[in-house]
Structure 1
Amino acid sequence: MSQRIHFITVATKDLDAGRRFYQDGLGWEPLMDVPDEIIFFQVAPGLVLGLFQADKFVQDLGGAVLGTDVSGLMLSHNVESPERVRATVEKMVAAGGTVLKQPTQSDFGGIFHSHVQDPNGVIWEIAHNPGWHLEPDGTVVFE
């Protein structure tokens, strides 16, 4: 298997709240939106984030999963500066997110960051990491 991911799919208890948060609040454009089922957002070349209505998620798995709570998962979004961290967090809160950790200097790696939970429990880290950058081909480099 090649080392890549094409879809990250998250079971979502309230698809409409997810739509309001990502589409209406953050201004993300859906790649595909199937009402009462799933909404996809292209988040990088070849990578899609899917919010799948929880009961449909369980149905798709043939009932093999009992719970659909999001746990032990964090999605991260890196920005250019600490000021941009603060501005992004403000936008997420205005869209219905809940701040779990106010913007602050991290205990790890010189990162300035904040943690925000979306209306369905997905935790986002908004970070400025001066030791991280992307090459023109999309390769991540840690310095």
Structure 2
Amino acid sequence: MEQRLSFVTLAVADLERTRRFYVDGLGWTPVVDVPGEVVMIQVGPHLVLSLWDERQFAAEVGPVQRGGVPPVTLAHNVADRADVDRVLDTARRAGADPVSDAVEREWGGYTGYFADPDGFRWEIAWNPGPIGQLVLP
């Protein structure tokens, strides 16, 4: 098996609310938009974020359990420190829950978090090290 991730799929409780957040609020462009079913957004050269209606998800994948913080984070790395605050501000204006303001991290970076309408945590990060450069376009 190749070392590759192609899709990240999030089961969402209210697809239209989630669409408004990502498309209208964050300004992302869908490549597939099927009302009541799924919104797919290309987020990298070979990577798609799939926002799938929870009922449709459960019919194929199995029951969805809600409650607490999902045990996963999604990360959006930026090229400089100031971009972290700018992206966090954009997300908050779009209606994101401001989980934590950006802070200097012990490893030398600067990161903060927001939650999307379903509680999925997004880390906005500036990482000045080699791994940070690896993930930037």
Counterparts in 2 of 1:66 and 1:127: CA distance versus 1, 3 Å: closer
Structure with the larger helix share: 2
Matched residue count? 133
Identity score, percent: 38
1:118 and 1:66 mapped to 2: Cα distance? 17
**Which residue of structure 1 lines up, in the alignment, with residue 85 of structure 2?**
86
Deviations 1:28-72 (A, max 9, x none): 0001001001100000111100000111100112xx324256611
**Which residue of structure 1 lines up, in the alignment, with residue 58 of structure 2?**
58
**Which residue of structure 2 lines up, in the alignment, with residue 72 of structure 1?**
71
1:93 and 1:66 mapped to 2: Cα distance? 26
**Which residue of structure 1 lines up, in the alignment, with residue 3 of structure 2?**
3
1:55 and 1:117 mapped to 2: Cα distance? 21
Contact residue 116 and residue 125 of structure 1 kept, 8 A: yes
Contact residue 40 and residue 51 of structure 2 kept, 8 A: yes
Q: Structure 1 segments of 4 or more deviating over 6 A?
A: none
Where in structure 2 are there 5+ consecutive unaligned residues? none
Where in structure 1 are there 5+ consecutive unaligned residues? 135-139
For residue 114 of structure 1, the aligned residue among 102, 112, 115 is: 112
TM-score by length of 1: 0.87
Deviations 1:95-133 (A, max 9, x none): 1101111111123x2110100001111110001110020
TM-score by length of 2: 0.90
Q: Which amino acid aligns with 1:90?
A: D
